[in-house]
A = this chain, B = another copy of it.
Amino acid sequence: MAKFRINILGCGSATPTVRHQPSCQVVDFRDKLFMIDCGEGAQLQFRRLGLKFSRLNHIFISHLHGDHLFGLPGLLSTMALHDTSGSVTIHIFREGARLLKEWMDFFNRKSPFEIIYDIIEEGEHRVLYEDQGLTIETFPLYHRTPCNGFIFREKPKLRHLKGDAVAFHKIPVAAIKSIKEGADFVTEDGRVIPNVMLTTDADPSMSYAYCSDTMMDMRVVDDIRGIDTVYHEATYDDSMTERARERGHSTSRQAAQIARAAKAKRLIIGHYSKRYNSEDILLAQASEEFPDVKLANEGLRIDLE
């Protein structure tokens, strides 16, 4: 199975505590690393998880609250020290790019390490990254300041060859690629061998959506419908539903309702308010709405498969 792993580096909210670090995740897609949000301490968590700075080339910042980006100056300085010829692209709202650039132009001025800024516009739907196997799109969330989420979609994979059938029909090597992609095979004398005779189904393609920070909003469902795994913020429990709305946050039950409406297969919740000494109540209330809920925790690794 090709690697598609979510690493949780931080899943607290507002301020780091002894229990939780501020928001940060790293998606490891076939050994390319993609960071989502970068709270203070992200670089140290990155090290603790044994991840490699040299494999990190894209960082996605959901919104301009400090607990989602105060780790950037330190992380970028460390990267600039380690890999002076490297570069990284920061996908971020315009004002964040401006503020970050001011700092990095000063603190990193002696390193040729390159920081590229890709400006996300408020409310934007756009593909931010694409390679042979993956696309990363952004879509709007509904917080008290402009905020965007991110969807990672694995592209369709190749079908599996049936070795015996390939041998029996004497398929030439040159035809293998198109057959794996689903084409039928036409013999020299014009007979059509249907693809299903030659292949079995490809492994399913996986997808992951990051929804933090946001209040519960059904427009999110439209954007993440059919996703495999969704991370949705769950700052509060039921008793704080009103406060959640006021602050542009969600309860864990609301996160689960979004996952259910989107027909997701799995839900990870995080961005816990620091009022909770245990997140069991958040898990319990979400689990009343959706069967497969997991509590995020620092160091948690989830393989999508």
Contact = CB atoms under 8 A, between A and B. Distances in A.
Interface of A: 14-18, 40-41, 43-44, 47-48, 64-67, 70-71, 73-74, 77-78, 81, 95, 99, 102-103, 106-107
Given A66-B107, A99-B103, A103-B99, A81 B40 contact: no
- Where chain A touches its partner, the secondary structure class is helix
Contacts of A40: 40-41, 43-44, 71, 73-74
**Lowest 3 A-B CB distances belong to which pairs?**
A40-B74, A15-B78, A70-B74
Number of chain copies forming the complex: 2
Nearest to A14: B81
A66 B15 CA distance: 20
26 contacts: A14-B81, A15-B77, A15-B78, A16-B41, A16-B47, A17-B44, A17-B47, A18-B44, A18-B47, A18-B48, A40-B41, A40-B43, A40-B44, A40-B73, A41-B44, A64-B107, A65-B107, A66-B73, A66-B74, A66-B77, A67-B77, A70-B77, A99-B103, A99-B106, A102-B102, A103-B103
A143 to B, nearest CB: 14
